[in-house]
Amino acid sequence: MDTIPALDLTSKRCRQIRNAPLGFIGDLSKSLFGTATQEDVQKIVDKVNRMIAAGRGLQSDLIAHERHFESYMSLSSRKMANMERFINRTVGGMTSIQRNIHSFENMTELRIHALEQSTEGIFKMLLEAAEINQYLSDLQAGLDHVAAGIMPYQLIKPADISSVMDRLEDTLKKAGSPLRILQRDPAFYYGSATFLANIVGGRDIPLII
């Protein structure tokens, strides 16, 4: 027993040993073996209470974190649902816009086709109006020529004059008439009177018709 050194409980080193983490184990062993004092028991109670309080705090923190997580998940779920509805509305809007564009294109094509038909009809009407105006102008000029005693070339074409002369000669030959046409050029008759000739004694005697 003399070999065990005595400890000075008031020294700094002993205070450090007494305050070390293993002190709690020593206090607990004292209580188990019945050597603990009231102070030792109170220390154990205080430490147990602190552990319980720490556990309750940890539990409270866990519950708060769980609530925060549930709130976050609920908020995220609502945001995702809103995003999905927004995407669906956007897709629906784009589909509607696309349908409207197709409808507008179809209407535009129909209007262009109708405009082309109208333009073609107007062009034909303009051509017909131009022809009518030309015909009226020719008729007016022809009437003016007739009034002046001149054959109207606007109303009687050279081919018509040639055809008439051919038929007239045929008629004269069939009738045995000595009359014949001296001037065969249709242009002659637009500015001159019509001449026929009667063959008498081998001479051509012109006759004015």
- Residues 126-169: tens digit of each pLDDT: 888 888 888 778 777 777 776 666 667 777 788 888 888 888 88
β-sheet with 179-181: strand ranges across: 179-181, 195-200, 203-208
Alpha-carbon distance values, 86 to 55, 89, 167 (Å) = 45, 5, 93
pTM: 0.35
The secondary structure of 145-175 as a DSSP string is HHHTT---TTTS-HHHHHHHHHHHHHHHHHH
Residue of higher predicted confidence among 83 and 38: 83
pLDDT of 131 reads 85
User: Which H or E element spans position 34?
Assistant: none
Q: Is the pLDDT of residue 22 over 50?
A: no
Q: Which long-range contacts (CB under 8 A, 24 or more apart) does 152-159 make?
A: 153/190, 158/186, 158/187, 159/186
Per-residue pLDDT averaged across 34-57, rounded?
76
pLDDT of 16 reads 45
d(CA 189, CA 195): 9
Per-residue pLDDT averaged across 193-200, rounded?
50
d(CA 121, CA 3): 136
pLDDT band at 88, cuts 50/70/90? confident
Domain ranges of the chain: 12-83, 156-209
